[in-house]
Every structure is written in C-alpha cells, then in structure tokens.
Structure 1
Amino acid sequence: MTELVVSIPQDSGGVAGQKRLTPARAYVVRSADGLATAVLQAAVPLMVLQGTGSVAWSGVAFVLEWIPRVVSLGSVGPLIDRVGARAVMVWASAGRVVMVALVLLALLAGGGGLELVLLGAVAGIVAAMGFVSAETIGAEVARRSDAPHRVQAVLTNIDQGALLVGPLLAGLLLLVGQTPLLVTVCAISAAGVAVTLRIPRPATVRGDSPSPVAAMGLGARVMWRIPALRWVILAVAALNALMAVVQAVTPALVTRAFDESTAAAGILWSVSAAVAMPAVAFAGRAVGRIGLWLVGATAAGIACLAGLAVAVAPSFVLYAIAIAVLAAAEGGAIVFLRTVRTALIPAEVFGAAMSVMALAALLPYPVAGALLVLVSETHLFALVGVVSAVCGVLVALCFAALRGHRLDAPVAAAQAELPPRLIRPDATTRPCPTRASDICAEAS
C-alpha cells in the first residue's frame, strides 16, 4: 500500500525562541483578520440599507463587496506560494489600516455613499488576501500537529467567534457613529500586523515560481488528480451557496417581512455564531468517537434541513432559531471539509490550490447578491427554499462519494504534478491515516 506523506517544513528564520510558528500566534493572526473583516462586512451593507432604504441597493452593495474578493483570489494563492503567507498577511492587514484611514478622512471631509461603496469593494480584496493567508498558516500548524482535526476545530471556532463579535461590534459602534467603527477596525488590523511579524519568514523564497495564471492552472490540475477533493469542493460550494442566499436575504426579510430593525439583523448573526461555537467544539471532539465522515455528513444534512426551516419560518423568533441551527451545522461540516482538504493538498502548492478552492466556494456570494436584485421581494422565502433543496441533493451526493475514500494514492498522484523546483528541499515527512474517517481516530 502506498503511504501518504505530508510535507512539514522546519521552523526557520529569526532568533531562536523569538520567531516561531506556534498555534497561539496562528490563532491570534486569524482572529484579528477575521474580526476586522467581519466588522466591515456587517457594517457596510447596513449603512447602505439605512442610507438608501432600498433592498435592491442592499443587494448591489452585497455584490460589490464580494466580486472583488472573488476576482482577487486568482492571484492571492500564487502570490503566497511565491513570497509566503506571512508577507501577504502583513500586506493585507497594513493595507486595511491605510484604506480605512483614508475613508475616515474622506468621511470627515464631508464624503458619503461613494466612499462606503469603495470601502466595501477594497475591503473584499483585502479580505481575500487575509483569508487565503490565514488558511495557509493554519494548514501549516495543522500539518505539524498530531491532532489536525482539533486545530481545524479551533480555527473554525475562531471564524465563528468573528461572526459572533463582528456584527455585534459593528451594530454597537454604528450607534455611536462611523468614526469609532473605522478607528476600531484600524486598531484591530494594526494588532494583526504586530503578531504576524512574529511569525518567521519562509526558509526559501521561490522567486522562480510560476505566474499567477500558471500557478492557478497547476493548483487546478493538482486538485483534479484528487477525486475526493473534487467532491469536497462541490460540497463546500453547495453549503456556501445556501449560506450566501440566507445572508443576502436576511436584512430584507428581517426589516420587511418581520418588521424588525436593522440592528436585529446584526444581533441575529451574532446569536447564531454564539450557538455555532460550542457546536463546532462538540464536532471536533465527536469525530474521535464516531468518525470524521459521519460527523461531517450529519452536520451538512442538518444544515440543509435548517435552510428549509428558514424558508417556512412564520415568525422572527423561529427564523432566528433556524439560522442558528444552520450556522452551527455548517460549522460542523466545515471541520470535516477543512481537515480532509489539509490532508489532501500538497504543501508546495497549498496557496494556489486554496485560491482555486476559495474561488469555487465564494462564487455563490456575488451570485446571491445578484439574485436579491432580480428576485421580487415577495419571493425571497421561496428562493431560500429552492436553494436549500438543491444544495441538499448536492451535499448528499458529495458525502456519499466521499464515504470510505482513500487518501494516500490520490495525494501521490497529485504530487506527481509538481515541477521539481517546487519540491521543498528542507521538508520532512510523516505517515498519515489512509481514510478520512481515520484522521481523528489515530490521534485520539
């Protein structure tokens, strides 16, 4: 039997004991980037809806916030493979500080809606840089760990924590004014820069790496050689499509169908994230008992059923409960998907492969915004129901195909796609489990 090997680069760079890639530093970097992104992501559409009172303009803002993020993914991953996730994360966090400061100065000078639209668009690009960088740093920590599923559970909980605190913080700060909100985002991003600088630089900088287009092609070929990974990508895209549509329609449904305030929409997502965090932690522990695949399949199925419950909710309270269940179940499914993804993708092209995966996973978000513009306000509940049903069928097919998949030979086939210059000369290897369901069992 061919044995799966995962490349694990050695610690490098900096003074001994000062610059090391520790789990704590990776978690802090991800927290700072996720929180800053969540605050802006929640604040910009709310400010547009408050200013215009138009559901269509809210959808336009949603589209403009996500299109730059999706488009920029094509170059972020190859850039990370070329210069390292540390450098790209520093650029993203520092760029967010500069961007928000410039918008703040423009608003103080009497600017208005145009500055907010530009803020959302540029924030999307910075979010893409931070997202792929944080995923790459987190994947490196998971590879070094004897319990990668637990690392992924912590990272997923950090994301849920950002979703919890971000909308709530945005709503509270907007009650005071736009200036405190923007200053807070600057401070969070600056803290992220400071911690990221404590992570060592890569041992080598691959200046001869392929161009972004060639690197994306390489990442796509690597993933195509891994059958299980193709099903993972489709499952991620399906779950994200469901969540994207629910996120897009929620401001309109909360304020129009249920006659609640815009602040209630932000609080709803914060409460949902609060419910999701213990659910994700439970999923991380449950995989060692009943198997990774079973936890992921159960969580994904519950997420699709919760989407159907959202579509038929007769009151705001039941709507909020359904969304909380959806967020919790999606988090549990993501623990499975991220753990399998980290085990399957060769480390040498993780950035480029992550860009391809993120591109497929995030495309549903601008599409959801476009649907919000095109679909009548009276048919939003029906839209959620149709999307939930379609996603349920796709997720069932994906997890049926993933059941019992072997994880050793596909990776060997994918590694055969790597040009010799991309193989890390300083890498060591360790054996990994051969089945997705065994990843956690071996560690426990």
Structure 2
Amino acid sequence: MPDERPRAWRAGTFLGLRAFSTLGDQLLQFAVPLIVYRATGSMALAGLAFLVEWLPRLTSLPLAGLLADRFGGHRLYAVSDCLRAAACLLTAVALASWPEQAFALTAALMGLCAFLYAQAFIALESTVPQLVPRKDLAKAQSLLQVINDGSGVLGPALGGALLIWLEPVRLLWVSGAAFALSACGLLALRVLGSPAVPSPRPRRGTAGSTAGSIVRDLRTGVRGLAGQPVLLLLIGLAMVVNLMVGLALATAAALTIGHFGLGDAAFATLQTSVGALSVAAFVLMPWLLKRVSVYRIGAVSFAIIILGGALIAVAPSYAVYVLGYGLCVGLCGLFNVFIRVERLHWISPDERGRVISLVVLLNQLTLPLAGLLVALTAAWLPVHVLFLAVTALGGAAYALMVRPLRERAATAA
C-alpha cells in the first residue's frame, strides 16, 4: 500500500494556505464598507458597492468552472491570489493620491477581486473532493468552513485593532500581503513537490473549436444540474439564505454607524463576534455529526438564519440587532456544510467543476440582488421592511421545500 503521508501533507498544506487567502478576503470585506460609508455617508452607495462586489463573482462562475476543469485547481488558485494581491496594493496607492475618488476606486477593486474570488473558489471546490475520501468529506468541508469562519473572526479583529493606528484605506496593504503569502505558498508547494492532484493539460484547438467546446461544456453542466431535483431544491433554499445574509452584510456598516450612531470599533466588534459564533458552532460539529445527520444540521440552521433576519427587522436596540445579525450570518456556515456535502452526492466527478460553478452561480444570485434592493429602496423604504419581507419568503420556502428534500437527501441518513 503506497505511503499516504506525502499526499496528506500536501493536502493539509493546501488547505492551510487557504487561511491566508480567506484572511485577505475578510479584511477586504471589512475595509471596503468603511471606506465607502466614511467617504459618502450613503446607505444606497453602500448597497451599490455590495452589488459591485458580488455581481462579478456570479457572472464569472461558469468561466471559473471551465478553467478549473481544464487547467487544474492549484494553478488557477495561485494566479487568482497573485492578481488579487497586486490589485489591493495598486488601489491603496491610487487612494492615497486621489482620495476623492474613493467609491470609484474601491468599486473597481471589488469588481476585479470578485471575479478572481470566483476562480479561486471553484478551483478549491473542484480540488478538495479529489484530495479527500468521500467518507471524510463532511469533516473536510467542516474544516474549510472553520478556516473561513476563523478568518471571519481574525479579519475584523485584526482590522479593528489596526484602525487604532491606521486609516481604513491602509488595511488594503494588509489584505494584499495576505493574498501574496497565499500565492507564494502555493507556488512553493508546486516547486517542492508534485501536486496532490495532477493538473490537467490545457486543451488546444482553433478559436472556433474552443468556443464550441466551451458551449458544449456549459450544456453538460446544465444537463447535470437539470437532471437532479435534489440540486434544484438545494438551490432554492440557498437563494433564500443568501438573500437574507446579503441584506445583513450590505446594511451592517450603515446600520451600526448611521442608524445606531456607533463607531468603527463597534462595527469591528460586530464582525468579530459573528465570526466567533461561527467558530463556536463548528467546534461542536464533530459532536453534532455523531448524533444527528448532516441534513438535520442544514434544516435547523436554515430556520435559525430566518429567525435572525426577523430579529434584525424588529430590533429596538443594538444588542438585539447584534443577536439577530449573529444568528443570521454566523450560522450560515453550518448550512453551507450541508449544501456542499449533499450536492457532491449528486454530481458526476468528471463534471464537478462545470456543475458546481452553475450551482454556486444560482445559489449566490440573490447576494447582488440584496445590494441592488438596498441601493434602489434606501431613499424611500425602511430597511427593516425588506428584512420582514425576506423573513416571510424564508418561512414559505421552508414549508414548501424542506419535506421533499428530506425524503430524497443522501445526507438524511
């Protein structure tokens, strides 16, 4: 039997380097709302910035799936982090020279980084199932979620601490450095040893044949998705969750600083507390997995997320708002573990990149929609009305979709 230790070491290192990348992303998501709201004082522009942040992530997902299948996850991931590092550093220099263009420059930065985030995300999603046995997928996805949520704690905490000495714009330097460390680590990993998963060779051909091949690949992904009712049910639930979470994220800085009249430190504390709640939930994950199914974890976390949105809508004080925000955003990771594990049971391995990219595209379509809703309605509709409407939508989705999903879900056992 071949020695699995080198393969396990490369896989562990690959996942460990993910922490630097997610830390850079969390710092970026922490800094940009502060930069935009401090520069404009507008909730509508804060919502528009959130739209700009998420729309390129979605529109580039099909391309990300094709690139991951064609060129391999390691190469695509490293290139994405290299470009994100360069973008953060160049934007920081530009903001120092033209501070009056803060919204335009940060919007351009978030648009580019959103496109590159999609490439890195799909590269990771398509590689992990090849590194980890099927029986350990739930644990691996939980570890990834812990990395994401741990960065969700460390990112805002680090950002809040640095704000004692630095302006929010300077946080872009720290974010760029984190992306650079991730990219350099991945490149070193390829130099020191062959990758845990062989990278596919790029396909060659004429421009016409390449275009035709792309169309065929997209059709394959659509067929793989349309033929699985369980995937369609998962998408419906994920769209509702992401609409609720998107509203919470798009309005967090404006509500904390504008509506409740608190400062940057309170916003940093809010984000750190949510990340801490997420990590605490995942500390309990091994205990939960021994006692209840992955499906049950997903169903309960969905209900709690909707409850959190309802608390945000009716919050009479900042303390109640923090509780609702924590339940809504902090437990999203538990639901994500269920989604990621369940969908892998229904996707053919040779179509994984193409189908997952389409699934994630549909799942996250409501995130930029949340930003658009805030941008269009901030001037005439109280934001709590939006939360109440989405809460009602979530309750209806739970009633309609959870039972048929329970009857078919592979993770319900």
Measure how far apart 1:146 and its partner are: 3.1
Contact 1:141 1:151 survives alignment (8 Å): no
| Distance change >3 Å, CA 139–CA 216, structure 1 → 2 | same
Residue 86 (structure 2) aligned to one of 79, 92, 98:
98
Unaligned 5+ runs, structure 2: 205-209
Aligned residue in 1 for 2:198: 202
Letter of the structure 1 residue corresponding to residue 401 of structure 2? C
CA contact (8 A) 2:307 2:324 kept: no
Does 1:116 find its partner at 2:106? yes
Contact kept in structure 2, 1:59 and 1:369, CA below 8 Å: yes
Query: Would the aligned equivalents of 2:238 and 2:364 in 1 still touch at CA under 8 Å?
Result: no
Kindly indicate whether the alpha-carbon contact (under 8 Å) linking 1:28 and 1:192 is maintained by their aligned counterparts in 2.
no
Change (3 A) 1:321 1:71: same
Per-residue CA shift, 1:213-257, capped at 9, x if unaligned?
Answer: 432321121011122111112111111111011111222222233
Instruction: Give the conservation status (yes or no) of the 8 Å contact 2:80–2:119.
Output: yes
After superposition, the Cα gap between the structure-2 partners of 1:108 and 1:259, relative to the gap in structure 1 and judged at 3 Å, is closer
Q: Which residue of 2 aligns with 1:223?
A: 225
AA matched with 1:281: V
Are residues 54 and 340 of structure 1, via their aligned partners in 2, closer, same or farther at CA, if it must alter by over 3 Å? same
Residue 240 of structure 1 aligns with an amino acid whose one-letter code is N
Calculate the TM-score normalised by the size of structure 2. 0.88
Deviation at 1:74, TM superposition (A): 2.3
SS in 1 for 2:407: coil
User: Contact 2:72/2:199 (CA < 8 Å) preserved in 1?
Assistant: no
Kindly provide the amino acid, as one letter, of the partner of residue 37 in structure 1.
Answer: D
- The answer to whether residue 378 in structure 2 is matched with residue 400 in structure 1 is no
2:46 maps to which residue? Answer: 58
In structure 1, C-alpha distance between the alignment counterparts of 2:237 and 2:181, rounded to whole Å: 34
Q: What does 1:10-409 correspond to in 2, within 5 Å? A: 22-110=10-98, 112-113=101-102, 114-142=104-132, 144=133, 146-175=135-164, 176-177=166-167, 180-197=170-187, 198=189, 200=195, 202=198, 204-205=200-201, 207=203, 211-376=213-378, 379-405=382-408
Q: By how many angstroms is 1:282 displaced? A: 1.9
User: Where does structure 1 lack aligned partners over 5 or more consecutive residues?
Assistant: 1-10, 407-434, 439-444
**Distance in 2, Cα, partners of 1:69 & 1:132:** 11
Structure 1 position 380, deviation (Å): 0.5
Letter of the aligned partner of 2:45 in structure 1? Answer: W
Contact 1:48 1:57 in 2 (8 A): yes
Shift of 1:379: 1.3
Structure 1 window deviating more from structure 2 (53-62 vs 102-111): it is 102-111
Partners in 2 of 1:300 and 1:159 — Cα distance? 19
Note if contact 1:301-1:396 (Cα within 8 Å) is conserved in structure 2.
no
Q: How far off is 1:43 after superposition?
A: 1.0
Count how many residue pairs are aligned between Structure 1 and Structure 2: 397
The whole-number CA distance in structure 2 between the counterparts of 1:284 and 1:402 is 23
Checking the alignment, whether the CA contact within 8 Å between 1:308 and 1:388 is kept in structure 2 is yes
Q: For 1:21 and 1:260, locate their aligned partners in 2 and report how far apart those are by CA, in whole Å.
A: 45
| CA distance, structure 2, for counterparts of residue 109 and residue 203 of structure 1 | 42
**Do the aligned residues in 2 keep the contact of 1:145 with 1:151 (CA within 8 Å)?**
no
CA distance in 2, matches of 1:26, 1:233: 28
The alignment partner of 2:382 has SS state of helix
> In the alignment, residue 195 of structure 1 is paired with which amino acid?
G
User: After the TM superposition, which of the residue ranges 328-337 and 86-95 deviates more from structure 2?
Assistant: 328-337
Distance (Å, rounded) in 1 between the aligned partners of 2:32 and 2:63: 25
Task: Name the CA distance, whole Å, in 1 between partners of 2:33 and 2:159.
Answer: 11
Distance in 2, matches of 1:254 and 1:128, equals 29
Q: What is the rounded CA distance, in whole Å, between the counterparts of 1:392 and 1:164 in structure 2?
A: 29
Structure 1 position 32, deviation (Å): 1.9
| Alpha-carbon distance in structure 2 between the residues aligned to 1:264 and 1:98 | 30
In structure 2, give the amino acid aligned to 1:399. Answer: V
Worse-superposed segment, 109-118 or 238-247: 109-118
Deviation at 1:361, TM superposition (A): 1.7
User: Partner letter of residue 251 of structure 1?
Assistant: A
| Cα pair 1:26 1:137 within 8 Å, conserved | no
Q: Alignment partner of 1:297: what SS?
A: helix
Contact conserved, 1:228 with 1:402, CA < 8 A, in 2? yes
**Cα separation, partners in 2 of 1:371 and 1:214, compared to 1, 3 Å:** same
Distance 1:263 1:217, change over 3 A: farther
Change (3 A) 1:203 1:360: closer
* Distance change in 2, residues 1:283/1:218 (3 Å): same
Could you tell me the TM-score, scaled by structure 1's length?
0.82
Q: Distance in 2 between matches of 1:161 and 1:171?
A: 15
For 2:8 and 2:138, how far apart are their aligned partners in 1?
A: 21
Q: Give distance in 1, aligned partners of 2:10 and 2:400.
A: 37
Q: Which amino acid aligns with 1:68?
A: P
Shift of 1:289: 1.3
2:207 is aligned to none
> CA offsets, 1:198-217, max 9 Å, x none?
25162542516874443232
User: Are the structure 2 counterparts of residues 110 and 132 from structure 1 closer, same or farther at C-alpha, using a change threshold of 3 Å?
Assistant: same
Residues 1:396 and 1:284: Cα distance change in structure 2 (over 3 Å)? farther
Please give the alpha-carbon distance, in whole angstroms, between the structure 2 residues aligned to 1:115 and 1:257.
26
Q: State the alpha-carbon separation in 2 of the partners of residues 179 and 245 from structure 1.
A: 24
Q: Distance in 2 between matches of 1:284 and 1:345?
A: 25
How far apart, CA to CA, are the structure 2 residues paired with 1:173 and 1:215? 46
Superposed displacement of residue 178, structure 1: 5.1
Residue deviations 1:127-181 (CA, integer Å, cap 9, x gap): 1112222222333334x25322111111111121222222333333344135642
Which amino acid in structure 2 is aligned with residue 64 of structure 1?
A: V
Separation in structure 1 between the aligned mates of residue 158 and residue 32 of structure 2, nearest angstrom: 13
Amino acid at match of 1:207: R
Please provide the CA RMSD for this pair. Answer: 2.6
CA contact (8 A) 2:54 2:114 kept: yes
